Chain A
Amino acid sequence: MVAACLPRERLRPLAGWLLLLSVGSVAAGRIEDQTEQFFRSGHTNNWAVLVCTSRFWFNYRHVANTLSVYRSVKRLGIPDSHIVLMLADDMACNPRNPKPATVFSHKNMELNVYGDDVEVDYRSYEVTVENFLRVLTGRIPSSTPRSKRLLSDDRSNILIYMTGHGGNGFLKFQDSEEITNIELADAFEQMWQKRRYNELLFIIDTCQGASMYERFYSPNIMALASSQVGEDSLSHQPDPAIGVHLMDRYTFYVLEFLEEINPASQTNMNDLFQVCPRSLCVSTPGHRTDLFQRDPKNVLITDFFGSVRKVEITTDTISLQPDLEITESRVTCYC
């Protein structure tokens, strides 16, 4: 708007009404661009599925990882009803925890990510591959309460964050079973076919994390991983008082990055890709955008990590094209 107004004011004394008219038409074109930008993400609601797959006290950091992301997405506006939080173990109540009822993500007890209002949807032995896939694909027994369901639709942007012990092409659940990258890719494909998402951001913090997204084949998925195939993801924040590592490196820096984000931030995904360079992470974080339709630089962090309602006040009259075209293009593109 501002950009459109300035030249008009400058040119008014010099040029006649014809010029004014022409500039006006240019301005109208820009407004349309902006409106397109305004609706660029194409989503109307946000969901998050945050999964920690490992048990046992020495995997404290994985629970802290997940709770950190939980804290961020909640702070940026995704309500608990839209977050499915799966924690494979209960670190806050572990008898080995010298600070009961807390989970810290920074050493020296700086940040307790286990606040007063954590709503864990799937806990301890409920966190299984089957339950995870059922949540994603929506094939859930009818008795399941709504808080444990992923009730997304084809206008939903979904953030899926996973952490645990993994290897080349799999992620361990509970030290007893695994999900493979192929199973995960098929689940996403099923979600796509069932129109359960508009866009999907997949983040995984595990050893050889990049192997988990290399089999994805469904559209509109952007994926990030903490390490390449053949690399380990390393831990961070050793705390002698608690006696374990508090976080993993990648998530630690992601959390640090997210703490700077506010709902109005214009930070985009390219910035997220830059988080935790190899000098800090020791591993090489990876990302995959070839399935994604939009340019990552046009994708705001808050498109996935927040539930941001876009509000822009304008005095101009905007005649919107019917959005059939968008729908049509979506339909024709991916069938």
Chain B
Amino acid sequence: MGLLSDPVRRRALARLVLRLNAPLCALSYAAGVAWFLALAFPPLTQRTYMSENAMGSTMVEEQFAGGERARGWARDFAAHRRKAGALPAAWLERAMRSVGLEVYTQSFSRKLPFPDEAHERYMVSGTNVYGILRAPRAASTESLVLTVPCGSDATNSQAVGLLLALAAHFRGQIYWAKDIIFLVTEQDLLGTEAWLEAYHDVNVTGMQSSPLQGRAGAIQAAVALELSTDVVTSLDVAVEGLNGQLPNLDLLNLFQTFCQKGGLLCTLQGKLQPQDWTSVDGPLQGLQTLLLMVLQQASGRPHGPHGLFLRYRVEALTIRGINSFRQYKYDLVAVGKALEGVFRKLNHLLERLHQSFFFYLLPALSRFVSIGLYMPAVGFLLLVLGLKALELWMQLHEAGVGPEEAGGGPESSPPLQPAQSVGLASLVAPLLISQAMGLALYILPVLGQHVATQHFPVAEAEAVVLTLLAIYAAGLALPHSTQRVVSARAPDRGWMALKLVAIIYLALQLACIALTNFSLGFLLAVTMVPAAALTKPYGPRPLYATLLVLTSPAATLLGSLFLWRELQEAPLSLAEGWQLFLVAGGPGSPAFRTAPPYGHRARPGNTAHESPRAAPQTPRARNLRGPRHPRHRKMPAGPALLPVSTPPGSAARRSPAPSPALATPALGAAAGADGSRGAPETAKMAVAAASLRGAVLGPRGAGLPGAGARGLLCGARLGQLPLRTSQAVPLSSKAGPSRGRKVMLSALGMLAAGGAGLAVALHSAVSASDLELHPPSYPWSHRGLLSSLDHTSIRRGFQVYKQVCSSCHSMDYVAYRHLVGVCYTEDEAKALAEEVRGLGGGGPRDWGAHCAGRQGRDGALRGRWRFRTAPMRMERCSCGQGSSPTISPNHTPTLRPPEQPITEHCPLTSATSLELGTVVRTTSSPC
């Protein structure tokens, strides 16, 4: 009971929550941000370790020596490619066949949703070539994939050469237990997606492709290789996949161990890993890497071809060869050896990679932050919303009860709260409208695209933007309708109730997003929580407007762009950033056509950044590359973080700069178009977030034009709150609101405890190893919270035990009294005990007493169960009297032949052995 049912304590708690709400909120928010920043520091970052037994060490011998062949093939490939102007499929086919692979091709075509102006394409077609190396002595049930994407930007000739050389080398080995697929795709990710869809026989993007003629088994892991130079200075690893999915950490660990073994320089996000974690510099550098990863993951875009594999539950990563101005360079043999080692170890794998983490953040290649450690960051942020909700809840009750108590004194039965009735009735309309807005943003732009192009002289991309603008225009009506509904009867309580529901909804949505894509969830929470917590219908309007503009998704996106480039040490000027922002917002849309497509190509090779080859990672270049793929163009490009559209009635509309208002619909377009095909979760989340943001900000939008000074200030009424609390908040247990508060408090408590438990569980789940013994778990019917033992079954079970099982299995530590009240009454149990004792039951100490006829009836219930051994005991008892009823089958003094079992039908227990000992002793020294 305690905390919640004790009125005094509860009142104290409520007062604490109410009085300290603003400081607590600020503290919680600061704690969340601080926790996030602390993630890069050693107590929270841990060294990575290999969890998978099968890949435990790098103990394989890499024999790859085909560097010269690889370079030769790379040269040939580049020449043929130049000649053909596309992927030289026929040449590739010949080359793969010459090294002994089973070769197949797959052609595909896809109409892009928008014409890609950067590459002047609309209908995209291409050919994938893949060769299968069959495992010599195993069935084709599992396979590994080595893939090289060939696009117009990155030719990856050297990667193709290395792939062929590795294929030739692998062909000569006999230890393969999995088929290996060597895949060269055209049109970058488009080809990869076409091949994956055909391989798994699904079609989620409307791709037309020829069916695959050859298959290997289920794909266990994949490695994508991007390499355009003969020598590299370092290898960069990309892990972020579609919608922020990540491969199992063990795959990264595996690659990293082979990097270490081969002495290769490996980077993450283009950053070298810091050597010194004890000082501040190392973790600070780790923090930069971590932030880059967060931005990359939050964008939801795959950071390489591997990102598409992740959707099919194939663990995959992309390895990029980078050639910069470092002194030490590695040739293709070194890269090939690392890949050989990785594949050899993957070949040893027996199950899917599942031991290590699937949710993690990486401050460096050899350090990680597990989900149990990073979730508190977002938890603290969401706690702000929880506290606000609690405050609103209490204020609502206070407002409802106050006048009533002042008028007629305490009522015997708590009447229906006016606040609740008003709130619930008025909440439905704005919530429904907000949801409808989200749905419209999700569906309409793409549906409307075709209609618009048919009826109006606009292009597809323009159509999407225009549709979105139309939806936003329609959304302008939302605040007013909300205001009318809300302020019809009880203005204060109305907006409070609406805000309460919206805040809870927002918290739930953010929590869900943060669970699947922490980066997106955290960035959304960081920006939306302050606005959601502070927003109220009145107050210093310019301040709120500024805040809302600053925390709107558009501003977040812009800020993220600058942060991104800052972290990559290629800082943007304001103008550059603005151009980038426009391109990120809506690629190819007429509104942003002013942005020159190639105007500001990323400046290559900035000092500390790894190389010019890394340029494709920089947002600018990726934005340019992005639109070629429908997914690229659908997802907001680059570190375009959150495809969350600004809600109707947001302050962006009133902001002095018109551009965010233009950009955000484009973002919405991105989200909407994305959601229609393939249905990536990001889009759904974004839409959900948009709709709920509409719900949250709706009341504020409603309040602002009203400009009334009525109602309660959320954050700024500290001075006046305690007065009201003391006089109006009845906290006795019999009053109506207390129950609600109790539910609220207990729900919060459970939420917090559950969150902590979840964090601990998630953190420790993966450390399960061989050294734990798992007890069996049975679906007992009485296990439930509300279920109990079935007494008739117990009775039946006892009967069965008594008659059957007890002949072999003892239950020496259960007494008859244990049966009382469970399946027998006291009398029945006594009778039972007497009955059994009559046969010689009871404990060993009772035997003599029984023989002498001194058995007391009172002790009957205390006796232990003895069914099995009755005959033997009788024999023993009567031993001294000289008349031996030879009932016992064991009464044979001679030694048995060893083959004759003593008790054939039941396992011997220690109790049985005891009796056996008794028998033998009896025979050797008669009593």
The interface residues of chain A lying within 8 Å CB-to-CB of B908 are: 186, 189-190, 193
**Chain B, residue nearest A94 (CB):** B177
**Chain A, residue nearest B924 (CB):** A332
Contact A193 B916 (CB under 8 A): yes
Q: Does B176 contact A (CB under 8 A)?
A: yes
Q: Does A57 contact B (CB under 8 A)?
A: yes
The interface residues of chain B lying within 8 Å CB-to-CB of A167 are: 770-773
Q: Does B749 contact A (CB under 8 A)?
A: no
Q: Which residues, 20 to 60 on A, are CB-close (under 8 Å) to B?
A: 56-58
Q: Does B53 contact A (CB under 8 A)?
A: yes
CA–CA, A332 and B895, complex, Å: 12
Contact B901 A335 (CB under 8 A): no
Q: Does B325 contact A (CB under 8 A)?
A: no
Q: Does B432 contact A (CB under 8 A)?
A: no
**Chain B, residue nearest A183 (CB):** B907
Q: Does A207 contact B (CB under 8 A)?
A: yes
**Chain A, residue nearest B52 (CB):** A58
**Chain A, residue nearest B922 (CB):** A335
**Chain A, residue nearest B344 (CB):** A243
Contact B770 A57 (CB under 8 A): no
Q: Which stretch of B57-65, B154-162, B389-397 is in the interface?
A: B57-65
**Chain A, residue nearest B176 (CB):** A95
CA–CA, A242 and B896, complex, Å: 52
Q: Does A169 contact B (CB under 8 A)?
A: yes
Q: Does A165 contact B (CB under 8 A)?
A: yes
Q: Does B590 contact A (CB under 8 A)?
A: no
The interface residues of chain A lying within 8 Å CB-to-CB of B173 are: 98
Instruction: Tell me whether chain A's interface is mostly helix, strand or loop, or mixed.
Output: loop
Contact of B910 among A93, A94, A189 (CB under 8 A): A189
Q: Does A139 contact B (CB under 8 A)?
A: yes
CA–CA, A96 and B137, complex, Å: 8
Q: Does B13 contact A (CB under 8 A)?
A: no
The interface residues of chain B lying within 8 Å CB-to-CB of A264 are: none
CA–CA, A60 and B61, complex, Å: 17
Instruction: Tell me whether chain B's interface is mostly helix, strand or loop, or mixed.
Output: loop
Contact B59 A96 (CB under 8 A): no
Contact B770 A165 (CB under 8 A): yes
Q: Does A126 contact B (CB under 8 A)?
A: no
CA–CA, A335 and B652, complex, Å: 92
Contacts A96-B175, A186-B908 given; indicate if A241 touches B61 (C-beta within 8 A).
yes
Q: Which residues, 214 to 252 on A, are CB-close (under 8 Å) to B?
A: 238-241, 243-245
The CB with the most chain B CB atoms within 10 A, among A190, A193, A239, is that of A193
CA–CA, A243 and B770, complex, Å: 21
The interface residues of chain B lying within 8 Å CB-to-CB of A93 are: 137
CA–CA, A125 and B895, complex, Å: 38
The interface residues of chain B lying within 8 Å CB-to-CB of A186 are: 907-910
CA–CA, A165 and B904, complex, Å: 32
CA–CA, A138 and B60, complex, Å: 43
Q: Which residues, 885 to 926 on B, are CB-close (under 8 Å) to A?
A: 895-896, 898-899, 901-902, 904, 907-910, 913, 916-917, 920-921, 923-924
CA–CA, A169 and B773, complex, Å: 9
Q: Does A80 contact B (CB under 8 A)?
A: no
CA–CA, A170 and B347, complex, Å: 30
The interface residues of chain B lying within 8 Å CB-to-CB of A139 are: 901, 904
Contacts A57-B54, A94-B177, A194-B902 given; indicate if A243 touches B61 (C-beta within 8 A).
yes
Q: Which residues, 43 to 87 on A, are CB-close (under 8 Å) to B?
A: 56-58
Q: Does B707 contact A (CB under 8 A)?
A: no
Contact A97 B175 (CB under 8 A): yes
Contacts A189-B910, A193-B913, A331-B920 given; indicate if A170 touches B773 (C-beta within 8 A).
yes
Interface size on A, residues (CB 8 A): 42
CA–CA, A240 and B904, complex, Å: 51
Contact B59 A195 (CB under 8 A): no
Shortest beta-carbon distance from A79 to chain B in Å: 20
The interface residues of chain B lying within 8 Å CB-to-CB of A240 are: 59-61
Q: Does B348 contact A (CB under 8 A)?
A: yes
CA–CA, A153 and B54, complex, Å: 42
Q: Does A119 contact B (CB under 8 A)?
A: no
Q: Does A196 contact B (CB under 8 A)?
A: yes
Shortest beta-carbon distance from A2 to chain B in Å: 39
Contact B917 A243 (CB under 8 A): no
CA–CA, A283 and B916, complex, Å: 40
The interface residues of chain A lying within 8 Å CB-to-CB of B901 are: 138-139, 194
Contact A238 B59 (CB under 8 A): yes
The interface residues of chain A lying within 8 Å CB-to-CB of B176 are: 95-96
Contacts A94-B177, A167-B770, A238-B57 given; indicate if A100 touches B137 (C-beta within 8 A).
yes
Q: Scoring A residues 189 to 201 as 1 if CB is less than 8 Å from chain B, else 0, what string do you get?
A: 1100111100000
The interface residues of chain A lying within 8 Å CB-to-CB of B771 are: 167-168, 207-208
The CB with the most chain B CB atoms within 10 A, among A153, A190, A241, A245, is that of A190
Q: Scoring B residues 342 to 353 as 1 if CB is less than 8 Å from chain A, else 0, what string do you get?
A: 001001101000
Contact B898 A153 (CB under 8 A): yes
Shortest beta-carbon distance from A247 to chain B in Å: 14
The CB with the most chain B CB atoms within 10 A, among A96, A170, A331, is that of A96
CA–CA, A58 and B345, complex, Å: 10
**Chain B, residue nearest A58 (CB):** B54
Shortest beta-carbon distance from B172 to chain A in Å: 11
Contacts A178-B773, A331-B920, A335-B924 given; indicate if A243 touches B898 (C-beta within 8 A).
no
Contact A58 B898 (CB under 8 A): no
CA–CA, A196 and B900, complex, Å: 10
The interface residues of chain A lying within 8 Å CB-to-CB of B898 are: 152-154, 194-196
The interface residues of chain B lying within 8 Å CB-to-CB of A168 are: 771
Contact of A243 among B348, B350, B909, B913 (CB under 8 A): B348
**Chain A, residue nearest B136 (CB):** A95
**Chain B, residue nearest A190 (CB):** B908
The interface residues of chain B lying within 8 Å CB-to-CB of A194 are: 898, 901-902
B: which residues have CB within 8 A of A?
A: 53-54, 56-57, 59-61, 135-138, 173-177, 344, 347-348, 350, 770-773, 895-896, 898-899, 901-902, 904, 907-910, 913, 916-917, 920-921, 923-924
Please provide the 4 A-B residue pairs with the shortest distance between their CB atoms, ordered closest to farther: A335-B920, A240-B61, A195-B898, A95-B137
A: which residues have CB within 8 A of B?
A: 56-58, 93-98, 100, 138-139, 152-154, 165, 167-170, 172, 178, 180, 186, 189-190, 193-196, 207-208, 238-241, 243-245, 331-332, 335
Between A and B, 20 residue pairs with Cβ closer than 8 Å are A58-B54, A58-B350, A95-B136, A95-B138, A96-B348, A139-B904, A167-B771, A167-B773, A170-B773, A189-B908, A195-B896, A207-B770, A238-B57, A239-B59, A243-B59, A243-B344, A245-B59, A331-B920, A331-B924, A335-B917
